């Protein structure tokens, strides 16, 4: 069952655990029962440790599984080969450290309330929404309303996914109110994401609201939220990384290069196929060779293999990792406006992303100028004979949507939002999807399976237990 770890985990242990990627430490019984655990931690220190946890959750094994199930990455050996064959059990999944980190975000709010600090409370609420959004996106119905008090609710109910989404919007609304307060305590030293910028956290909250509204097909609300969202690449929420193994490596580098080289790669994945088809197309306004080389590098693990670029690209040890960004905000606007029928506004938002890519910027890094071209599109480019409509889709709207969806898919490499998109696009109207082939069998994975520990101890787990091919509610 889920335990409220807010009063049982020391910040030092949390930091060590997260930086070493050893999430199994959260399963140590002493953590759950140690009466001598440090509890008197100030809110600023708590914020720093919790940011580590939220950061790790955007680079962890769950994200890799989602990338495999989205067809972006392939599992080639050992456990990850099983993921590519969609063979999983409840033993493959865990809610540690996800729910422990979520409990820490709630404790931040409690401690901030105690000192009247609305700004830090607002950041805690944004972090809470980020963690619980990941939980419900991957698992569907999850504990939320009773998740943070293990004394009162030792076996918390599983809230309906639609209720969780509504509650998350309320949490983010409250965060925005708190981040709009005229005063609060400074937290720049502890905030390695935004250096204490309250305005950037507020914009991130709006972009997260827009993401969730896109998921639920509330496109007008999505556009309205994104209008107040991250307004430039300077507002990107990026996890910084460095060169010290076991301390600050990019966790993808640590997996791809150090600990599990060859377990995953891009041989047989759809993403490089898609990008190669675009590079070889007659679209003279676009050349994505630079981005392709930023993502992929041949021959690192074996001659001819297509591997993650851990040398000088997206997955080197110092590469920042995205949590939520300006490009995502603009692509939300682009898709939502296109679905609302305003192709002009949709195109303007898409072109803003293309302009940034043309300058070489992506997630805090700079692309090579060789093979880099993202000229602005015009609507005629999406006509039946247009250079940006290679599959001859019937309308400008659907052709433009296809380009937006493809750009999102490419940009979201190693972000679980790509897996959200694959499932979401099965129902979003008009239906426009990428032709992503299955690695195995005849069914697409639609969700993660509830962890065995939760199944064993919480009688409120949904019954019958859904398998990996059962759609979550919001994407049905």
pLDDT per residue as tens digits for the range 298-326: 999 999 999 999 999 999 999 999 999 99
Report the domain count for the chain: 1
Are the CB atoms for 42 and 185 separated by under 8 Å? Answer: no
* pLDDT tens digits, one per residue of 239-272: 999 999 989 999 999 999 999 999 999 999 999 9
In a domain, 274, yes or no: no
Considering Cα of 117, then 122, then 127, then 132, what sign does the dihedral take? positive
In a domain, 230, yes or no: yes
Nearest to 254 by CA among 241, 239, 269: 241
**Cα-only R_g, the chain:** 22
In a domain, 119, yes or no: yes
Residues 6+ apart with CB under 8 A from 390: 281, 282, 283
Which parts of the chain have pLDDT scores under 70? 1-40
Domain span at residue 35? 5-184+191-244+319-475
Q: Residue 284 to residues 121, 349, 372, 387, 432: CA-CA distances in angstroms?
A: 49, 20, 12, 7, 23
In a domain, 279, yes or no: no
Q: Which residue has the tokens 């979520």?
A: 102
User: Can you give the pLDDT at residue 391?
Assistant: 87
Could you write out the DSSP letters of every residue in 56-115? Answer: HTTSSHHHHHHHHHTTSSEE-SHHHHHHHTT---GGG---TTHHHHHHHHHHHHHHHHHT
In a domain, 168, yes or no: yes
User: Can you give the pLDDT at residue 280?
Assistant: 96
Q: Which residue has the tokens 């072109």?
A: 351
User: Can you give the pLDDT at residue 36?
Assistant: 33
In a domain, 358, yes or no: yes
Are the CB atoms for 244 and 20 separated by under 8 Å? Answer: no
In a domain, 60, yes or no: yes
**Alpha helix (H) ranges present in 280-377?**
289-295, 326-340, 343-358
Cα dihedral 27, 29, 30, 34 in deg (nearest 10): 110
What distance in Å separates the CA atoms of residue 301 and residue 81, rounded to the nearest whole number? 16
CATH of the domain at 22: 1.25.40.390
User: Can you give the pLDDT at residue 39?
Assistant: 52
In a domain, 253, yes or no: no
Element (H, E) at 219: helix 219-226
Q: Residue 103 to residues 11, 96, 140, 239, 464: CA-CA distances in angstroms?
A: 12, 11, 19, 21, 28
Cβ neighbourhood burial of 364 (10 Å; 0-12, 13-18, 19+): middle
User: Can you give the pLDDT at residue 40?
Assistant: 66
């Amino acid at each position: 069952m889920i335990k409220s770890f807010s009063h049982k985990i020391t910040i030092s242990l949390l930091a060590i655990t997260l930086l070493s990627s050893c999430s199994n430490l959260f399963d140590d019984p002493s953590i759950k029962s140690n009466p001598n655990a440090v509890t008197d931690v100030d809110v600023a220190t708590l914020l720093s440790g919790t940011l580590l946890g939220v950061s790790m959750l955007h680079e962890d094994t769950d994200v890799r599984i989602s990338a495999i199930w989205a067809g972006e990455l392939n599992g080639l050996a050992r456990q990850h080969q099983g993921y590519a064959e969609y063979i999983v059990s409840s033993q493959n999944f865990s809610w540690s450290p996800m729910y422990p980190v979520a409990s820490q975000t709630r404790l931040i709010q409690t401690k901030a309330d105690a000192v009247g600090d609305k700004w830090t409370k607002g950041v805690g609420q944004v972090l809470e929404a980020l963690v619980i959004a990941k939980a419900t996106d991957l698992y569907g119905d999850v504990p939320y309303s009773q998740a943070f008090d293990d004394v009162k609710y030792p076996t918390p109910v599983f809230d309906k996914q639609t209720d969780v989404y509504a509650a998350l919007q309320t949490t983010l609304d409250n965060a925005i109110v708190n981040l709009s307060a005229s005063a609060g305590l400074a937290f720049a030293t502890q905030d390695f994401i935004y250096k204490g910028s309250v305005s950037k956290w507020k914009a991130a909250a709006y972009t997260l609201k827009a993401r969730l509204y896109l998921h639920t097909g509330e496109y007008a609300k999505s556009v309205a939220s994104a209008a107040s969202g991250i307004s430039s690449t300077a507002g990107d929420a990026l996890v910084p990384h460095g060169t010290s193994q076991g301390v600050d490596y990019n966790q993808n580098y640590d997996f791809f290069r150090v600990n599990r080289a060859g377990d995953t790669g891009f041989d047989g994945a759809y993403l490089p196929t898609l990008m190669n088809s675009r590079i070889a197309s007659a679209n003279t306004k676009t050349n994505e060779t630079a981005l392709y080389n930023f993502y992929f590098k041949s021959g690192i693990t074996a001659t001819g293999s297509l591997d993650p670029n851990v040398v000088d690209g997206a997955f080197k040890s110092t590469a920042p990792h995205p949590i939520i960004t300006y490009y995502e905000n603009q692509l939300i606007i682009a898709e939502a406006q296109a679905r609302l029928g305003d192709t002009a506004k949709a195109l303007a938002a898409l072109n803003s992303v293309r302009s940034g890519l043309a300058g070489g910027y992506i997630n805090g890094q700079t692309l090579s100028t060789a093979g880099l071209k993202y000229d602005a599109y015009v609507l005629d480019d999406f006509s039946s004979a247009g250079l940006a409509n290679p599959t001859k889709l019937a309308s400008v709207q659907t052709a433009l949507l296809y380009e937006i969806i493809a750009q999102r898919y490419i940009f979201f490499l190693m972000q679980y939002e790509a897996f959200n998109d694959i499932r979401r696009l099965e129902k979003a109207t008009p239906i426009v999807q990428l032709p992503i082939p299955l690695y195995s069998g005849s069914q697409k994975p639609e969700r993660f399976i509830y962890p065995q520990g939760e199944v064993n101890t919480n009688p409120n787990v949904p019954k019958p237990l859904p398998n990996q091919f059962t759609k979550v509610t919001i994407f049905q």
